[in-house]
Amino acid sequence: MTGGSRGIGRAVARKLAQDGLAVVVNYARDAEAAEEAVAAITADGGRALAVRADVADEKEVADLFDRAEAEYGGVDVVVNAAGRLALSPIADLDLAEFDAVHRTNVRGTFVVAQQAARRLRAGGSFVGFSTSVVGTQFPAYGAYAASKGAVEAMTLILARELRGRDITVNAVAPGPTATDLFLDGKTPEQIDQLTKAPPLERLGTPEDIASAVAFLAGPQGHWINGQILRANGGLV
C-alpha cells in the first residue's frame, strides 16, 4: 500500500486491514504519520507495519516488496496511492515542478506496477490511482491530469499483459474528496462550488474511495479487470 500514511491512502489501508489483509503502509517522508496509521490498524485488531520507500526508486520499491514477502509470505494486493499534485496554468508551471509530479505519478506508478507484475500471486489485484480531472478537465490541473492519463494507459495495458495469471488490474479515479491536501488553499466559495458539482451534491470522503478500492481488490470485484472506476458522485 503506497502512500498509505495520510488521506485517502490511510483510509484504504485501514479498510483493507478491516477486510482481513495484512498491510504494509509505505511512506516517503512522514514516518510519524505512517506509524499513526499502523497504530490505528493494530488498535482495530489488524496487522500492519510501516516501511519507507520512494516509489520512483526501483531499488527501494524492490526492497519494499521483499519486506512484504518476508513478513507476510507473499503479495496478494498492491494499491499504489502515492501521488503528487501541482496546480498551475500550463503557461506558468515551473518545469521542475512538472518533472517532480511526473516522477512520482508516472515513473512511480510504473515502478510499483513492474514489481506488482513480478510478485503478485494468482488471485491477486493491482489497484492504481487516477483522477476524475482526466475527464472534467478543470483548469490548472494540466500537469497532474497528464500524469494520471499515463496511469490510465498503464492500467489498461498491464491488465492485458497479465493474461492467464488470474490477476486483476484496475484504477480508481476519485473526484473532489475532502482530504487535508484537497481542502488546503481553497476558499469557502471554491469548496462550495466543488461540493455542488456532483449530482449527489457533496464532496467524497476518504472512506468512499477506500470502499471502491476494497471492492476492486477483493473477491467480489474479481470479474472487474482493465477498468478505470470514476468514484466521483456522478461528475462527467
What are the domain boundaries of the chain? Answer: 7-229
What average pLDDT does range 105-113 have in this prediction?
Answer: 98
What confidence tens digit (pLDDT) does each residue in 169-203 have? 999 999 999 998 788 878 999 999 999 999 999 99
- Is 113 within 8 Å of 128 (Cβ atoms)? yes
Q: How far apart are CA 81 and CA 63, in angstroms?
A: 18
Beta-ladder partners of 79:
127
- What global pTM score does this model have? 0.96
Active-site annotation holder among 27, 72, 141, 144: 144
Q: 7-229 has which CATH code?
A: 3.40.50.720
What confidence tens digit (pLDDT) does each residue in 19-35 have? 999 999 999 999 999 99
Per DSSP bridges, beta strands 75-80 and 48-52 are unpaired
What average pLDDT does range 219-226 have in this prediction?
Answer: 98
Q: Is 27 among the residues known to form the active site?
A: no
